[in-house]
């Protein structure tokens, strides 16, 4: 199957937003090492520890993903009064997340998920947690504070740890309706009626079937019909693992998005990445179908590393460039965003071509090979046959192709600190 191009025009629309993330917070711990022998005490593996690492999980990972995508993020959550809670706060602050609304609940222990890995492969996960509802006074404090502030989008990240009570969920959904703010939900549990009235819900396929109470043999369209009818939501996004993502709207229209094929190292946090991209896109009034194409691509990047991996806009631009996965003949203003991101790590060079033939083509290939780290923006003089465009598009290292001189002059002016111009000569 031919891989789809990712729209630079979509990425260029994604400006900084104010996002409110509300949900369960826990510590994701990774213990890396090797298991090479059997214990003499019992028929179990002996794991020799090489290194340990910890990251904020749950709503914390959603918030970090948004922060890395240049959003201004405030996280509403809770921890216990313990070391794990302190570690989470410190890491969130370091990642650029506002933690002022993370509350401490006495007699509550910050949950921890410990993953034991041998040579990068997960052997075992140990969960240390107790499901404890949040206190009523905690809900009152949260609502009185968030009511006074302005948000572009609100995300509810429910991991079923007790923080998001039914009353808190409905209060936030109603707040969103009063202020005309989209409320998006990553749900948990068998009963989705607590999310009634949200703008969008994003369950995985198993969760969607269980919540619909339909048999596993039912068609996914029927599952969507039941959920959307019961929940009064405008959009339903069902993630379907290797089958991709299915989008349903109020009009019962369905759109499918095929999963990006990548080597899967770890699936942890990929759903949080999709959730963050959806939120950023909707807050910027980007069409949800465009957003899901992008989310699919970005989530595939996180599957290639161990643990929760937050992706930056620079990472996305670099990946697209190296994979040759974007439109290269577009307007100068759309390409400007992309080139600015690439220019942080790659030299940008402008090449003017006044004529084109095989001799010039071979010369260009030599130049591209001699400077593989550079991004070339090629301007084709109006005298050059436009049939050469397809040939040039196939070359790695070609960033964009310009056919209008005003586009060339615009980019040269805007990227004066990063670029230079030369004419291809044989």
277: Cβ–Cβ under 8 A, 6 or more apart, which residues? Answer: 69, 291, 294, 295, 298, 299
CA atoms 399, 401, 407, 412: torsion sign = positive
Which of 82-91, 166-175, 218-227, 327-336 is the least confident region? 327-336
pLDDT tens digits, one per residue of 108-143: 999 999 999 998 889 999 999 999 888 888 889 999
Per-residue confidence (pLDDT) for residue 76, from 0 to 100:
97
CATH topology of domain 8-323: 3.40.1190
Is 256 an annotated catalytic residue? no
CATH topology of domain 332-423: Rossmann fold (3.40.50)
Residues of the chain within CATH 3.40.1190.20 domain(s) are 8-323
Per-residue confidence (pLDDT) for residue 411, from 0 to 100:
84
Give the integer Cα–Cα distance in Å for 254 and 249: 7
pLDDT at 5 over 80: no
Catalytically annotated residue among 272, 287, 354, 390 = 272
Per-residue confidence (pLDDT) for residue 266, from 0 to 100:
47
Task: Say what the pTM is.
Answer: 0.85
CB atoms within 10 A of CB 350: 21
Residues of the chain within CATH 3.40.50 domain(s) are 332-423
Give the integer Cα–Cα distance in Å for 186 and 290: 19
Only one residue has tokens 């965003």, namely 337
pLDDT tens digits, one per residue of 337-383: 788 888 877 888 888 888 888 888 888 888 888 888 888 888 888 78
Please state whether beta strands 245-249 and 235-239 pair in parallel, antiparallel, or not at all (unpaired). antiparallel
Give the integer Cα–Cα distance in Å for 349 and 412: 10
């Amino acid at each position: 199957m031919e891989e789809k191009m990712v729209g630079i025009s979509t990425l260029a629309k994604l400006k900084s937003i104010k996002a409110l993330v509300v949900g369960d917070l826990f510590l994701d711990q990774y213990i890396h090492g090797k298991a090479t022998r059997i214990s003499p005490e019992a028929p179990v593996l002996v794991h020799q520890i090489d290194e340990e690492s910890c990251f904020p999980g749950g709503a914390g990972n959603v918030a970090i993903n948004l922060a890395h995508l240049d959003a201004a993020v405030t996280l509403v959550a809770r921890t216990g009064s313990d070391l794990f809670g302190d570690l989470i706060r410190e890491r969130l602050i370091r990642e650029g997340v506002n933690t002022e609304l993370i509350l401490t609940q006495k007699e509550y222990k910050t949950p921890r998920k410990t993953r034991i890995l041998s040579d990068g492969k997960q052997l075992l996960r140990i969960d240390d947690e107790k499901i404890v509802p949040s206190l009523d006074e905690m809900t009152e404090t949260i609502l009185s504070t968030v009511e006074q502030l302005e948000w572009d989008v609100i995300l509810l990240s429910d991991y079923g740890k007790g923080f998001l009570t039914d009353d808190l969920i409905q209060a936030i959904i109603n707040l969103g309706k009063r202020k005309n703010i989209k409320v998006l939900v990553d749900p948990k549990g068998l009963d989705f009626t607590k999310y009634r009235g949200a703008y969008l819900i994003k369950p995985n396929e198993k969760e969607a079937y269980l919540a619909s109470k339909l048999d596993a043999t039912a068609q996914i369209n029927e599952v969507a019909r039941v959920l959307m009818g019961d929940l009064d939501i405008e959009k339903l996004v069902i993630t379907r693992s290797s089958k991709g993502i299915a989008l349903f709207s109020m009009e019962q229209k369905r759109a499918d998005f095929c999963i990006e094929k990548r080597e899967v190292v770890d699936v942890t946090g990929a759903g949080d990445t999709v959730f963050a991209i959806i939120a950023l896109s909707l807050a910027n009034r980007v069409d949800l179908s465009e957003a899901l194409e992008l989310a699919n691509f970005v989530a595939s990047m996180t599957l290639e590393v161990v643990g929760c991996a937050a992706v930056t806009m620079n990472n996305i631009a670099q990946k697209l460039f190296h994979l040759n996965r974007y439109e290269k003949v577009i307007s100068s203003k759309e390409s400007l965003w992309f080139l600015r991101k690439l220019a942080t790590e790659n030299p940008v060079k402008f090449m003017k071509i006044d004529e084109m033939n095989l001799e010039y083509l071979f010369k260009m290939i030599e130049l591209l090979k001699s400077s593989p780290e550079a991004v070339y923006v090629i301007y084709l003089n109006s005298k050059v046959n436009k049939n050469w465009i397809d040939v040039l598009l196939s070359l790695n290292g070609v960033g964009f192709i310009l056919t209008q001189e005003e586009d060339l002059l615009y980019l040269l002016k805007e990227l004066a600190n990063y670029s230079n111009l030369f004419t291809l000569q044989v």
